[in-house]
Amino acid sequence: MCVLCGVGYGIVHDEITARICPRYFNVDHPDLGWPAVFHSSSPTVLGPAWGVVATVPLATFFGVMLALAAQVGRWPQVAPRVLALPLMIGLLFMAACAVVGGLWGHRVGLASAHALSASGVRIKNISNTVGERTDFYAHAASYLAGAVVGLALPIGTIVHRRRASQISQRRE
């Protein structure tokens, strides 16, 4: 469930940011021997490709942590359907952080581009400069929020299971 939700989020996120600045994906990322699809200039190709590659490892890691927190041990287990709403709320939190980060990055990019041009530095393409900052900040905010969500959900699940165990012990 976490991997599917994470990959879905990653594809949507990268579809949007690839349209803001494709250069962020096909120039700014190091060439690690990726197939040609990762060097495309098409945002429609870049979004899903990077959305899957960048999301699967993290979503798998946090999904395993959440599954262990929900199922392992003697406390009452938590069904995946119970975790669906907190996961969706977490994804919405990540999206909101990405939007705020992107807006902040856009503002920083504009300010730095204007400062450079005011100092006499000729900027070849101001939209690339601003777009790269926008994408970088949106991605950084999304990853940071994802780490928070990825840690908060298992911890919250463990706390929930502990309380459920204490309540059932009191009833006995």
Q: What is the mean pLDDT of each run of 10 residues along the chain (172 residues)?
A: 94 94 77 64 85 91 96 93 95 98 94 78 68 94 96 96 88 72
pLDDT at position 113 is: 80
Three-state secondary structure call for residue 26: helix
Q: How many CB atoms lie within 10 A of CB 170?
A: 7
pLDDT at position 136 is: 93
- How many domains does the chain divide into? 1
Q: Tell how far CA 127 is from the center of its chain.
A: 24
What pTM value is reported for the model?
Answer: 0.86
Q: Which amino acid is at 23?
A: R
- The closest of 92, 67, 90 to 79, measured between CA atoms, is 67
pLDDT at position 54 is: 87
- The closest of 10, 39, 44 to 27, measured between CA atoms, is 39
pLDDT at position 16 is: 95
- Distance of alpha carbon 158 from alpha carbon 121, whole angstroms: 55
